[in-house]
C-alpha cells in the first residue's frame, strides 16, 4: 500500500505486550510535570492510573507547545526539557498517546533532532526502547497537505517531506536490521507494521540469508522456514 507520493504507507504498531515499565513511566511523568512547571493532576478517585496519565500528558504537552509558540532566538524552549520529554515518548506504551510528547517535541526542538533521537533508541540494545522507538516514529512524519479538491500536494509540504528522505531511508534499514536481530516479541511486533516490504530492502545482502523468528500468534506475517530476503518479498503485514 502506497501514498499518492509513492511512499509506502506506515501503519501504527499495536500496543500489545510491552515490558511493564509503568512505575518508571509514572515517576518520569511526575518529574516532567515539575520540570515544566505544570500542576500535578488530581489523582482519580477510582484509582484508574490511565486517567491520571492522560491528564499528565496533556498538561506537559500543552505547556511545551505553548512555550514553543512563544519562543524566540533569545528565549528558546529550555534545553533541559528535551531528554525527559523524548524519554516519556519512548516509555509511553500506547502508540496514539505518545504523540502528546512527540508532537510538542517536534515543535519545540525541531523535527530532525527528534527523528535522530528516535533512531538512536531504535538502534539501542534495549528491546523495550526499540519497541518504544518504533511506536514513536509514526508521529515524527511530515504531514503532506493537499489543496481542497486536489490530488496534488502543496509544494511547501512536499518540499518539507522530501527534506527528510534521508532519515526515512535510514529508519527503513535500521528497522529491518533490528527486526532481524532482536528476538524480543514485543519489539518485533512494534517494528513490523512500519516495515515497507520493498525489493530494495529485501535485496540488502546484509540481511538476506538471516532467518526470521516466527511469531506463532501472528501466522502469515513472516515465513518461519524462509530467509528474510525471500520472506519479505511476499510477506503480508497483516493476516
Give pLDDT, residue 20.
Answer: 83
pLDDT per residue rounded down to tens, the chain (239 residues)? 455 666 665 655 554 555 788 899 999 999 999 999 999 888 765 555 688 999 999 999 999 999 999 998 888 999 999 999 999 999 999 999 999 999 999 999 999 999 999 999 999 999 999 999 999 999 999 999 999 998 999 999 999 999 999 999 999 999 999 998 999 988 998 998 888 765 334 534 444 444 344 344 443 344 332 334 333 433 333 22
Question: What are the CB-based long-range contacts (under 8 Å, 24+) for 22-28?
Answer: 22/49, 24/91, 25/53, 25/88, 25/91, 25/92, 25/93, 26/53, 28/84, 28/87, 28/88, 28/91
Coil, strand or helix at 158: helix
CA dihedral 83, 88, 93, 96 (to 10 degrees): -100
This prediction has a pTM of 0.77
Q: In residues, how long is the chain?
A: 239
Q: CB–CB of 32/90 below 8 Å?
A: no
Amino acid at each position: 500500500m502506497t501514498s499518492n507520493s509513492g511512499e509506502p504507507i506506515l501503519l501504527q504498531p499495536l500496543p500489545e505486550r510491552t515490558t511493564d515499565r509503568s512505575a518508571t513511566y509514572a515517576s518520569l511523568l511526575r518529574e516532567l510535570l515539575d520540570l515544566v512547571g505544570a500542576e500535578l493532576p488530581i489523582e482519580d478517585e477510582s484509582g484508574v492510573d490511565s486517567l491520571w496519565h492522560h491528564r499528565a500528558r496533556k498538561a506537559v504537552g500543552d505547556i511545551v507547545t505553548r512555550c514553543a509558540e512563544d519562543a524566540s532566538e533569545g528565549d528558546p524552549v529550555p534545553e533541559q526539557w528535551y531528554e525527559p520529554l523524548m524519554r516519556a515518548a519512548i516509555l509511553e506504551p500506547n502508540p496514539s498517546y505518545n504523540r502528546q510528547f512527540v508532537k510538542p517535541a517536534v515543535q519545540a526542538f525541531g523535527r530532525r533532532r527528534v527523528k535522530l533521537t528516535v533512531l538512536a533508541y531504535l538502534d539501542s540494545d534495549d528491546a523495550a526502547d526499540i519497541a518504544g522507538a518504533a511506536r514513536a516514529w509514526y508521529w515524527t512524519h511530515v504531514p503532506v497537505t493537499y489543496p481542497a479538491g486536489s490530488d496534488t500536494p502543496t509544494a511547501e509540504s512536499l518540499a518539507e517531506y522530501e527534506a527528510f528522505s534521508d532519515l526515512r531511508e535510514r529508519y527503513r534499514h535500521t528497522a529491518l536490521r533490528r527486526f532481524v536481530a532482536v528476538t524480543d516479541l514485543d519489539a518485533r511486533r512494534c517494528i513490523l507494521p512500519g516495515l515497507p516490504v520493498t525489493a530494495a530492502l529485501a535485496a540488502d545482502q546484509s540481511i538476506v540469508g538471516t532467518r526470521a523468528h516466527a511469531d506463532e500468534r501472528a501466522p502469515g506475517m513472516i515465513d518461519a522456514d524462509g530467509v528474510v530476503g525471500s520472506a519479505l518479498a511476499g510477506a503480508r503485514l497483516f493476516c
